[in-house]
Structure 1
Amino acid sequence: MTIEELNSLVEMRLLTFGYTVTEADQKILSYVTGRAAQYVCTFCNFPHCPDDIPSSLQYVTADYAVGDFLQHKKTFAPDDLTNLNLDLAVKQITTGDTTTVFATGEGSQTDEQKLNSFISYLMTYGKHELHSHRRVKW
């Protein structure tokens, strides 16, 4: 996996949440992508980063980069995240006269709380996958 491939995955993932990467975002995007790749390589003891990251960890690495990117944006440019869609989960299904509610309690969360939960999820997702790829360091 190359950094360019990882960058395109991160941009695609951000698009799924309604965030379009701008030219001004490119430097921070490159930084967080490299940082996520380095984290995965260091954790798993891959000697050649990012070339040694297997395809089975590409989405985990991309999610770490997205979480880091959103954390950076939240800290330094929160107005850029106003169009971010934080209501992606199905909360209620109505079929005929039957209604099933899945996300109880989340309706009272503010947008900032939802964003914090989402960033936390992205930054911790895939630990079990990282453990399964970990190599012994001599």
Structure 2
Amino acid sequence: MENNIIDEIEKRLESFGYILKDGDKWLIGFVREKIENIIKLDCNIGEIPKELHNIEVDMIVGEFLFTKKNMGQLDIESLNFEAVEKSISEGDTKVDFAIGSGSQTPEQRFDSLVAYLTTYGKNKILTFRCLRW
């Protein structure tokens, strides 16, 4: 399972347009252990349930990107924040995607993404909380 989660973390990073560099594997491992310990301590459990797996991956990716940005090792401009299609029109119907994306800088969109990745699922994590005696 350990290699599986590392592979998923790397694929999730690649899905955002991040290209792995030398030294990233160590940082990914460090952040993974940190997030796993936070979840285990918050819930008072010894093993993370499979239901929290995707939330764990996103939290690790968010923390990794946050750390890389704060260390000055991340080129935010290289990440892809654009929707696949901005709008689709068919007949008299028009659907717009990416509303407001033009008014935000790439750094603001990056910060929003990191905030989402690191905080989404906190309420779901708490549903696995066990009492400590």
TM-score by length of 2: 0.87
Render the CA deviation track for 1:23-57: whole Å, top value 9, x for unaligned. 321111111111111111111111x3xxx111111
The alpha-carbon deviation at position 121 of structure 1 amounts to: 0.4
RMSD of equivalent CA atoms: 1.8
Q: What's the secondary structure of 1:78's corresponding residue?
A: coil
- Report the CA distance shift for 1:88/1:54 in structure 2 as closer, same or farther (over 3 A): farther
Matches within 5 A, 1:56-67: 56-67=51-62
Any unmatched runs of 5+ in structure 2?
Answer: none
Query: Structure 1 residue 136 and structure 2 residue 125: aligned?
Result: no
1:36 and 1:62 in contact (8 A); partners too: no
Superposition deviation, residue 83 in structure 1 = 2.3
Task: Provide closer, same or farther for how the CA distance between residues 131 and 89 of structure 1 changes in structure 2, counting only shifts above 3 A.
Answer: farther
Match of residue 78, structure 1, among 61, 74, 77: 74
Question: Would you say the 8 A contact 1:36–1:61 is kept in 2?
Answer: yes
Matched residue type, 1:101? D
Partner of 1:6: 5
1:1-138 correspondence runs (5 A) = 1-2=1-2, 4-46=3-45, 48=46, 52-76=47-71, 77-79=73-75, 81-88=76-83, 91-138=86-133
CA apart distance, 1:88: 3.9
Distance 2:79 2:110 in 1: 9
Separation in structure 2 between the aligned mates of residue 28 and residue 132 of structure 1, nearest angstrom: 29
Asked whether the 8 Å contact 2:83–2:98 carries over to 1, the reply is no
Farther-moved stretch of structure 1 (84-93 vs 36-45): 84-93
Counterpart amino acid of 2:19?
T
* Amino acid corresponding to residue 23 of structure 1 in structure 2: D
Q: 1:100 to 1:20 in 2, by over 3 A?
A: same
